[in-house]
A and B are shown apart, each in its own frame.
Chain A
Amino acid sequence: MTSAGVLALGVLSAASPAQAKPPAPALVCEVYPTMPACAGAVPDCTLCHQSAGVAVRNVFGTQIEDVFWAGDAVVPTDEEFIAGLEDALLSVEDLDADEDGATNVEELLAGSDPADADDLPGEATCEDTDGSEAWQYDVCSPDAAYTLRKVMLDVCGHSPTLEDLEAVTTAEDPGERIHAALDACLNTEFWRGTNGVLWQLAHRKITPLPAIKSGAGEGGVPLADYDDDYNLFVYTQTDSRDARDLLLAQYVVGRTEGDTTEYFEMTEAEQSARGTDVRVFTPVEQRAGMITSRWFFVNNTMFTAVPRTTAAQAYRSYLGFDIAKLEGLVEPPPTEALVDYDNKGVTDETCAACHRTLDPLSYPFSRYNGIGGNGGSGDYDANRLAAFVDSTQPDVDQTPQAGYVLGEPVDDLVQWAEVAANSDEFAAATVMDYWVLLVGERPSATETEAFVALWSDFATVHDYDVEAMLHDLIDTEAYSVP
């Protein structure tokens, strides 16, 4: 362990327990809007805390503590905290919490961790270099052949031909050839076919489990068919459709396979005529795309009364916030008290830091069956919670259907989905998926502005058309400059 590491450990051991402040990440972004972690998201609570869920500050958080409420045994109220955090951040800007030679502010703006001595700000950027006219390759300018090769490999699954490369290099408008290649690639089986790139992008959201799959290729205990989920995912990401249908679709998508895989909207008569092992029982008006699919409830809600896992998976998959990492803790207003309807101890102060966000996020999911239940798996049942009342959770049926998402009140899950689908967080999370897929990693500090512009355009200029967004993504410096 390095001396800095030993010092850090000592400081951490001595640090007093500290309550995580859910408003803090958003406030940090107000002070440092160009921080990479603020690109369509907010920093993890681990920016200041030792680790997710642990109410102990790291070395950077401890520096803030020292100037913010040094010697004060009383934990500040949220109001005091909000009022004082900016000054506290500014006052430790020029310190070096992890003693790695880079100041806190340098690390924040560069996207490195001010509490990790092994994480340093990156190398010089194009703005810092000169003499490019002498380079064999200008690593600060888009390179047509380089970009074409990446587009073809990323989206088509193979390299271009030598002739293609020569043609794009000498073309008067190489961009036209590159974008034509992208259009062609977006229609390949490699991209949109069964098990193609889009399917792979959906795996983490759907989390398939063949043992309980129903329908084609059913497992030993067939409960629901995740093919519906993959079909809807690909359908919403292709052919200029509105990607918000991920959360808004009230239709079911089918698929035919052959030389090319085709996805199509099923009529309600077609979908309801399917076998009971795969049929969607949820009434059309209670559906909200991927987060009300039969598979989603069977796989996440299972036998739970208040389906926190289900809500957390929806939040993680479609809004980019992992509550397990203390991300996206946007609480309802203070007037909305946290109630422990299912007797799980969530009002304990240590737990409440997350549950003040998670529980109201989960309530709208509570009227949908998990495995089994009245009407079948995934069906909507307004009185569902009555079946869960017993001596261990006598008040669970008092759990409201109304809840909160992103700080906004919602009456039910359909409204939850509408708020989510129209949020900046949804646009940013969707674009982030593709950025990471194509660029290879999250935006760097110097790419934050381009990333924010891209997801802003996705929600406006592109009308949530993923393919239109991808055409702009491959033109970014992050993708097209060697």
Chain B
Amino acid sequence: MFLDRVAWMVAGALVLGGCGGGGGGGASDAESGFTDGETESGTDGSQTNPTDPTDPTDPTDPTGDTDDPVAEQAPSARPRVKFKTAERYAADLSNALSIPADSLCSELDAFDCVSVHKVALGEVDAFGLRLLEPLESTPLTAPIAVDRIGLTACGERAARDHADPQSATSFVEVAGVDAPDASAREAVVARLYRQLLLREARDAERAAVAAMYEDLPEAGRSQTWSQMACFVVATSTEALFY
């Protein structure tokens, strides 16, 4: 059940963070799932209220989408989306989670994951493998590498925050709390969206990620949820592409 729920959430995050152009927060409508009346950053550059209580989305739909957002938005004439590549992704994770880049993740407690997986994640290796240009297509191992880095980095942040709640940077409202309530969890989700996706979370997004808590095993649930909530956001399409 737990894994099913996580898979559901990852799928939801991918839908929420679907590729496309970018808006105020770097996300297009298709990415953010905005519907009528909601504008993250309008064409006039204004910011809107992402916590609009009139949000018409169905809370039972984990994607938060009741309408097809693509239908409301003309497609880009020349949509171009680039993968962040290993270094950029690591830098963003490092900044978002306040963890030094070389501490995000290590293989066998000896090798920096980002370096180990750099070719799979779009970097070159001119002086080692004599790979002078990035691979033309994404290798099968790229999603696994992203999951590995994202999961480990999020786990590290969750462990630090729960071990020392007074110094928490991402999971402030739930760190050290055995059974955080929904509002505390939603506050954490809102922070994760700001830290990792550089935008405000929609009501449906906050609710969906917060609700994942109910399906987790009871032992260490608060810390596990922290790690998984972070993982869902940090490995969404929106977090990986620009």
Q: Which residue numbers of A lie inside 8 Å of B, CB to CB?
A: 122-126, 129, 131-132, 135-141, 143-146, 149-150, 153, 157-162, 165-166, 169-170, 174, 190, 199-200, 203-204, 207-210, 439-441, 444, 446-447, 478, 481-482
**Within 8 Å CB of A158, what residues of B?**
88, 91-92, 95
From 72 to 92 in chain B, residues with beta carbon under 8 angstroms from any chain A beta carbon are 72-78, 80, 82, 84, 87-88, 91-92
**Within 8 Å CB of B28, what residues of A?**
137, 139, 482
> Counting CB contacts under 8 A, is B26 at the interface?
yes
Contacting pair B74 A139 (CB below 8 A): yes
- What is the CA–CA distance of A160 and B95 in the complex, to the nearest angstrom? 10
Q: Which residue numbers of B lie inside 8 Å of A, CB to CB?
A: 20-26, 28-29, 34, 38-39, 41-43, 45-47, 72-78, 80, 82, 84, 87-88, 91-92, 95, 124, 126-128, 130, 132-133, 194, 198-199, 242
Q: Is the interface of B mostly helix, strand, loop or mixed?
A: loop
**Within 8 Å CB of A129, what residues of B?**
74, 77
- What is the CA–CA distance of A149 and B87 in the complex, to the nearest angstrom? 16
- What is the CA–CA distance of A149 and B24 in the complex, to the nearest angstrom? 10
**Within 8 Å CB of A446, what residues of B?**
77-78
- What is the CA–CA distance of A137 and B76 in the complex, to the nearest angstrom? 9
A131-B74, A138-B43, A160-B198 in contact; A208/B80 too (CB < 8 A)? no
**Within 8 Å CB of A157, what residues of B?**
87-88, 91
- What is the CA–CA distance of A439 and B242 in the complex, to the nearest angstrom? 11
Contacting pair B88 A153 (CB below 8 A): yes
Contacting pair A482 B21 (CB below 8 A): yes
- What is the CA–CA distance of A478 and B78 in the complex, to the nearest angstrom? 8
A482-B21, A482-B76 in contact; A159/B47 too (CB < 8 A)? no
What would be 28 A-B contacts, judged by CB atoms less than 8 Å apart?
Answer: A122-B78, A123-B75, A123-B78, A125-B78, A126-B77, A135-B43, A135-B74, A136-B34, A136-B38, A137-B29, A143-B24, A144-B45, A145-B26, A145-B41, A146-B21, A146-B22, A153-B242, A157-B88, A157-B91, A158-B88, A159-B92, A162-B198, A162-B199, A169-B46, A170-B47, A208-B127, A446-B78, A482-B22
The 8 A-B pairs with the shortest beta carbon distances in the complex, nearest first, are: A482-B21, A146-B22, A158-B91, A203-B132, A139-B76, A138-B43, A149-B26, A136-B29
- What is the CA–CA distance of A166 and B40 in the complex, to the nearest angstrom? 11
**Within 8 Å CB of A153, what residues of B?**
84, 88, 242
**Within 8 Å CB of A135, what residues of B?**
43, 72-74
**Within 8 Å CB of B92, what residues of A?**
158-159
Across chains A and B, the number of contacting residue pairs, with CB separation under 8 Å, is 136
**Within 8 Å CB of B132, what residues of A?**
203-204, 207
Q: Quote the shortest CB–CB distance from B86 to chain A (angstroms).
A: 11
**Within 8 Å CB of B42, what residues of A?**
136
**Nearest-neighbor residue (CB-CB) of B42 within chain A:** A136
Q: Which of B23, B46, B199 contacts A137 (CB 8 A)?
A: B23
Q: Which of B74, B76, B126, B128 contacts A203 (CB 8 A)?
A: B126
Contacting pair A145 B84 (CB below 8 A): no
- What is the CA–CA distance of A199 and B127 in the complex, to the nearest angstrom? 11
**Within 8 Å CB of A190, what residues of B?**
87
A137-B29, A157-B88 in contact; A165/B24 too (CB < 8 A)? yes
Q: Quote the shortest CB–CB distance from A242 to chain B (angstroms).
A: 26
**Nearest-neighbor residue (CB-CB) of B193 within chain A:** A162
- What is the CA–CA distance of A143 and B29 in the complex, to the nearest angstrom? 14
Besides the known contacts A170-B45, A447-B78, 6 further A-B residue pairs in the complex with CB atoms under 8 A apart: A123-B78, A129-B74, A131-B74, A137-B28, A137-B43, A143-B24
With most chain A CB atoms within 10 A of its CB, the pick from B29, B47, B194, B242 is B242
